[in-house]
Amino acid sequence: MASVKKKLWENNGTFKSNDGIRTASLNFEKGQRTIRQHKGNGFKGKTKTHHQSLDDSLEGELRAFLIDEGALHTYDDLTKVNPVTPTTVLKCLQARYKEKVFYTQAGCTLVALNPFQPIPHLYTLDVMREYHCASHPQEFKPHIFIAAEEAYRNVQGQVEPTNQSLVVSGESGAGKTWTSRCLMKYYAIVAASSSSPKCQDTVERIEKRVLDSNPIMEAFGNACTLRNNNSSRFGKYIQLQLNRSQLLVGASVQTYLLEKTRVAFQAANERNFHIFYQMMKGGTLEQRRDWRMPCDQWFTWLPIADKTVEEDCFEETTDAMTHLGISKGKQGHIFQILAGLLHLGNVSFCPPTNESQPCDLQEKSKESLQNTADLLQIPEELLLSGLRLRALKAGKQSVLLKPCSLAECSVRRDCLAKVIYAHVFDWLVAFINNSICADTSSWCNFIGILDVYGFECFALNNLEQLCINYANEKLQQHFVAHYMKAQQEEYVSEGLEWSFVRYQDNQCCLDLIEGSPTCVFSLLNEECRLNRASDAKQFKARLEKELSDNACMSWDKFSMQPHFTVSHYAGKVCYQIEGMMEKNKDPVPLELIHMLQKSQDSLLQGLFAQHNIEMNSGRGHGKVVTVVSKFKNSLESLMKILHSTTPHYTRCIKPNPDCRPLTFQKEEVIVQLEACGIVETINISAAGFPIRIPYPSFLQRYGLILNSRMWIQSINVNGPEADKDVLSPMVADVLNLVLQSQSLDPSNASETEPCSSLVHCGKTKVFLTHHMLELLEKRRDRVRSQRALCIQCCWRRYWHRKREAQRRALIRIQAAVRAWLIRREILLWHKAATFIQKTWRKWRTAMEVLAETELDDAVDVMEAPVYDPTVRERGSVQLSTCQEPVMLQAWPLGLALASAPNITVAVIATGFQKTLSLIACLKLSFTSLDYRVETNQFEQGVASIRALPQESIKLHLQRSPLLYADICPGKKGDVVTGFNQILLENI
């Protein structure tokens, strides 16, 4: 299991809790069973020891657990199962599989059951985005996307971002290839988001190329076997390269041990590689004509050609090759070479009549030989000579050609096909890497996806199965060493009281295969380096002599065929020795290499232009590189990469051997569970402390709970390598504070080392359960919320004071600006008023002068005399009856109403007389119950006082202001304006 410090920071401190679920640690020593139960609330339960057999002790609990089968499918994590036995685990998986739930968590491992039918809704883009955008994806139901997202977030870790590896293991047909395909698609989607359009185009292009590499690799490297329709016949480790922003910038593919023997040999009811069937079923008529492959053509190396599988899609493969940049011309060369290999398989020989002559070519094979030569662009005579004659070197320069036997001719034919196909496959891998691999400077981390062949055991097993099972043994050892063994050893080194859980360690099997000084591989390589014919019986005898003391090696004494049996972690496999040495040598005759180098096909010639002839010549026994040596070296480099990364395990389980949809066979599943150690993994995860945090990292994350600066000073002064004596008391204070706040009973706690069923302080690390981690996270979140609230209050206060000061400053500035503006405006007003007053005084003076000039003869009277008592009595007088002009008090300018026969003026007082004169002058309509004015001036205007009532009225004015008395610029008619307004203001 990964370091908890990384897991804490890289998962943002979120883990799935096991509230209310009991966990148990089992001790199988001396037939005893010790159960240490503790619930999610942290209270320690009673400890019981039963001195009885395991079956009797578990029988009651099994019945109690399995009685409620309707709720078994709700167990998302198998660590919640109590008791943890193969039976309970199997029952839970069966119940979940019945409910169409195919993913289950088993401690640090994800168990995936193959449904053998498409489940589209599980892998949609919406589901991917949902898991990617979730703040706590662990709270979701188990899914392969949770493991993918956890690895992706671990790369973005705040403390130590490290490379990640997703190890997908399982038997052939368990769904490893499909799982790897889903992982690649997930990362291509979630690691391709970018705000820059240019960067988005680049990421989309890389994403397309990474996804397009998958169908090409499967077409050329997968085949239909007895156990799986899409079985990977090679191992691959895909590195998805990420830049500092965790965006996908490239990828690279490393391949391991291509099963090239499948080109020339297929077991019963098995098929060749997918690409040959794709060409047969998907090629156009024109392409088939170029390949010399008519519709009724039959090929020896294409068995079960009528069987159709989902992977027989030629168009998808060609489209992927086009998107990766393989031109149509290059594709034509590749398919032409593959067609030549199919025709080569139809070439067969018959024994010669004379032993000194080479084997004769069968009549029906002549056309196939001609087609092979034409497609490979090799002269027919040269091809026939290379298949029938082998070169013998005599001296330094002389070369002799010796006829090959019938068996040797078939071997050379198969060898030619295998070496050509292997080079084509390697060329494709190299082209894919050149197309999708990014520069070293542009990426800093990677996420690796390992998809290797599963454990295999057939009726006849040879070198290929030995190498495949050896790779699975190495992966199993990596899992055991990384999680089970390392965890229990760490408990001991840290001083934990731990009841050990037995687990299956396969180191004995690995010592048998690759150990030193003597092992199967070393004896096999030594046998191949000897300059003698291979002898299976002699090699078996040597194995018995050298390795008989190894418990994992055995023999069947009654078998007539030389063989040896190896007890792998997944079961015993019997390997046939016959032909194993020849496959390990994998010799390529010199004349065949020279022949291929002379081909007119540019691609085929380029594939073998740099071929190292010396490595395959057989000269110098120490220089021979065998198949197992190359495979072991490449596998060791892979294991170095895995050890340098944080692994995430996914165990694919095959529910039934016949690949039938939604069919669960207990016998098939239980064998796989026991083989991969799932039950032991669950026991250790449930009973132990899966979370381990070094003291500095613990205080760095949870030290703020103390509300003290001592831990900050300690971390800053001592750094990550602080003394335990300094850090341990602070760690203990943190744990005690959390335990006391949760009303837990730290019964085993001392002053420096609180120890309970939830937590234990080791020498350098703190060991926690998931529940204790959740309590710490909750307390940390609460403290952070309180401090965040305090910071917010301080910030709001500061912000409010700052805004208030800014507001006051703005008010002062605004007041000053407004005062300045008003002063400036008032000054302008004062200046204008002064100018108006000055102009008005000048104009008024001029008007007064004009009025005095016009009214030079007028005399103001203070009161109008009454000439007749009748006027005094009646209050009215008829002007037309007066013999002399009637003098009336008028206003200062001397205006008077011209007399008329019909005028009637009612005079009551001096002030009112003045009002009537004004009304008459301004032509205002006047209606009253007491007074009425009717004068001809309403129609003829105002006359001078000089005009007599008996005569016509004339107005004599020179530049008089009276000309403008009725000028009104306003819109309202009842408003007195103009000069009359001036007069009114002076009344």
Each residue of 137-157: pLDDT tens digit? 887 899 999 999 989 988 876
Residue 567 has pLDDT above 90, yes or no: yes
Lowest mean pLDDT among 114-123, 325-334, 745-754, 919-928: 745-754
Residue 274 has pLDDT above 70, yes or no: yes
In order of 15, 216, 284, 396, 846, the CA distances from 280 in angstroms are 52, 17, 9, 47, 123
In this prediction, residue 856 has a pLDDT band, given cuts at 50, 70 and 90, of low
In this prediction, residue 172 has a pLDDT band, given cuts at 50, 70 and 90, of confident
Q: What is the DSSP letter of 28?
A: -
What is the pLDDT at residue 146? 93
What is the pLDDT at residue 334? 95
Sign of the CA dihedral with 534 first, then 535, 538, and 539 last:
positive
In this prediction, residue 864 has a pLDDT band, given cuts at 50, 70 and 90, of very low
In order of 123, 178, 192, 213, 849, the CA distances from 186 in angstroms are 9, 12, 10, 15, 106
What is the pLDDT at residue 789? 92
What is the pLDDT at residue 754? 44
Residue 506 has pLDDT above 80, yes or no: yes
Q: How far apart are CA 268 and CA 262, in angstroms?
A: 12
What is the pLDDT at residue 447? 93
Q: Which of 680, 679, 686, 685 is nearest to 93 (CA)?
A: 679
Establish whether 282 is an annotated binding residue: no
Ranges assigned E (strand) in 607-758 = 646-653, 691-694
Question: Which percentage of the chain shows pLDDT scores above 90?
Answer: 29
What is the pLDDT at residue 710? 58
Count Cβ neighbours within 10 Å for each residue of 199-225 and write b for 16 or more, e otherwise.
Answer: beebbeebbbbbbbbbbbbbbbbbbbb
Provide the 10 A C-beta neighbour count for residue 349: 22
Residue 874 has pLDDT above 60, yes or no: no
Establish whether 6 is an annotated binding residue: no
Highest mean pLDDT among 6-10, 674-678, 755-759, 834-838: 834-838
One-letter amino acid identity for 723?
D
Residue 467 has pLDDT above 80, yes or no: yes
What is the pLDDT at residue 244? 84
What is the pLDDT at residue 128? 92
Q: How far apart are CA 545 and CA 535, in angstroms?
A: 16
| Cα 210–chain centre separation | 15
Average confidence (pLDDT) over 951-956: 44
Mean model confidence pLDDT for the chain:
76
In this prediction, residue 569 has a pLDDT band, given cuts at 50, 70 and 90, of confident
Residue 255 has pLDDT above 60, yes or no: yes
In this prediction, residue 672 has a pLDDT band, given cuts at 50, 70 and 90, of confident
The DSSP bridge pattern shows strands 646-653 and 109-113 to be: parallel
Residue 258 has pLDDT above 70, yes or no: yes
What is the pLDDT at residue 7? 34
Average confidence (pLDDT) over 295-304: 90
What is the pLDDT at residue 813? 95
In this prediction, residue 876 has a pLDDT band, given cuts at 50, 70 and 90, of very low
- What pLDDT digit, counting tens, does each position of 627-654 carry? 899 899 989 999 999 988 888 999 999 9
Highest mean pLDDT among 47-56, 347-356, 429-438: 429-438
**pLDDT, greater one: 701 or 280:** 280
Provide the 10 A C-beta neighbour count for residue 267: 13
Provide φ and ψ at 334, rounded to 5°.
-65, -50
Question: Which percentage of the chain shows pLDDT scores above 70?
Answer: 71
Average confidence (pLDDT) over 63-91: 79
**pLDDT, greater one: 189 or 393:** 189
In order of 258, 400, 658, 879, the CA distances from 901 in angstroms are 141, 166, 139, 7
Q: What is the DSSP letter of 194?
A: -
Q: Residue 562: CA atoms inside 13 Å, Cβ hemisphere, count?
A: 16
First-last CA distance in the chain: 111
What is the pLDDT at residue 102? 93
Establish whether 177 is an annotated binding residue: yes
Establish whether 174 is an annotated binding residue: yes
- What pLDDT digit, counting tens, does each position of 733-747 carry? 888 888 887 655 444
One-letter amino acid identity for 758?
L
What is the pLDDT at residue 195? 52
Lowest mean pLDDT among 22-26, 89-93, 421-425, 814-818: 22-26
Establish whether 264 is an annotated binding residue: no
In this prediction, residue 959 has a pLDDT band, given cuts at 50, 70 and 90, of very low
Which positions are annotated as active-site residues? 172-173, 177, 228, 231-232, 454, 456
One-letter amino acid identity for 3?
S
What is the pLDDT at residue 748? 44
In this prediction, residue 690 has a pLDDT band, given cuts at 50, 70 and 90, of low
- What pLDDT digit, counting tens, does each position of 908-937 carry? 334 555 555 556 555 555 444 444 444 444
Residue 333 has pLDDT above 90, yes or no: yes
Establish whether 176 is an annotated binding residue: yes
